[in-house]
């Protein structure tokens, strides 16, 4: 039985910040519907890896392929389109727009993609409910708890139906209960929709939600086997 082609591949990624190397030949495969945790010490280059994989920064060397395209060769317009449609990104502190309500934060990617406001808000409300933020639609980020804000950020990342969600320490600013709620919501929704998740974390309990774990050490990735 043949192994399905990876959804996203990285080969030999090298990236330095000034004279400080972050990645020294990192490679990985991410398959459709898979949750892959990348762990490592603080400062090991985990966020740099995610930024290269999501097309946010270009590696100094190496390739990232998605759907037959090499991200490092694409113009910024195409990269922006991928990040708006095929990729969802969640950061440690959510990075919601403080002036917008939870509903409008989630609706924004849909409207940027051409959806009308009424349709976008209707779909956003459905996703907020899926992530357990029902009744908080009109609250702004500063009026929500950390867990509510992060679940809103997850809803925003998934509302467009992306193929891949890149989650950079999504529970790093949360207490243990909120972390469990966020990870349970993310993994359940991702598995339900067949979305692949690249999860960056330093927390072993968070990594345990993944199907597979790899450790970033000295700028390269070492597979750690199945964790779920």
Residue 19 falls within a domain, yes or no? no
Output phi, psi for 161, to 5 deg.
70, 45
Residue 181 falls within a domain, yes or no? yes
Residue 17 falls within a domain, yes or no? no
26 - beta bridge partners?
Answer: 13
pLDDT at 226: 39
pLDDT at 178: 84
Q: What is the mean pLDDT of residues 82-86?
A: 90
- CATH for 145: 3.40.50.300
Residue 75 falls within a domain, yes or no? no
**CB contact set of 80 (below 8 Å; sequence gap of 6+):** none
Residue 3, pLDDT above cutoff 70: no
pLDDT at 224: 59
Q: Which range (22-31, 42-51, 114-123, 217-226) has the least confidence?
A: 217-226
Residue 147 falls within a domain, yes or no? yes
Residue 8 falls within a domain, yes or no? no
Count up the domains in the chain and report the number. 1
Q: What is the mean pLDDT of residues 90-118?
A: 90
CA distance 167 to 34: 13
User: 120 lies in which domain range?
Assistant: 32-56+85-226
pTM of the model: 0.89
Q: Is 52 helix (H, G, I), strand (E, B) or coil?
A: helix
The pLDDT tens digits of the residues spanning 169-184 come to 888 878 888 888 889 9
Reported as a pLDDT band with limits 50, 70 and 90, residue 227 is: very low
Q: Is 12 exposed, middle or buried (0-12, 13-18, 19+ CB in 10 A)?
A: middle
Reported as a pLDDT band with limits 50, 70 and 90, residue 225 is: very low
Dihedral sign for Cα atoms in the order 107, 109, 97, 175? positive
Residue 21 falls within a domain, yes or no? no
DSSP letter at 139?
-
Residue 121 falls within a domain, yes or no? yes
């Amino acid at each position: 039985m043949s192994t399905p082609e990876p959804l996203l591949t990285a080969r030999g990624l090298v990236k330095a910040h000034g004279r400080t190397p972050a990645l020294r030949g990192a490679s990985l495969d991410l398959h459709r519907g898979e949750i892959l945790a990348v762990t490592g010490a603080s400062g090991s280059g985990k966020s740099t890896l995610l930024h290269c994989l999501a097309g946010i920064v270009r590696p100094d060397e190496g390739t990232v392929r998605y759907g037959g395209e090499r991200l490092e060769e694409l113009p910024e317009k195409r990269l922006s389109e991928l990040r708006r449609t095929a990729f969802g990104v969640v950061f440690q502190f959510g990075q919601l727009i403080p002036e917008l309500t939870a509903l409008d934060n989630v609706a924004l990617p849909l409207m940027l993609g051409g959806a009308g406001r009424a349709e976008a808000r209707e779909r956003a409300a459905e996703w907020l409910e899926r992530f357990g933020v029902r009744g908080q639609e009109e609250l702004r980020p500063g009026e929500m708890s950390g867990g509510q804000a992060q679940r809103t950020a997850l809803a925003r990342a998934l509302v467009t139906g992306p193929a891949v969600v890149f989650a950079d320490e999504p529970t790093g600013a949360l207490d243990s209960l909120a972390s469990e709620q966020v990870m349970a919501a993310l993994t359940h929704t991702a598995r339900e929709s067949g979305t692949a998740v690249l999860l960056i974390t330093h927390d072993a309990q968070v990594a345990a939600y993944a199907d597979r774990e790899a450790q970033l050490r000295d700028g390269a990735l070492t597979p750690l086997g199945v964790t779920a």
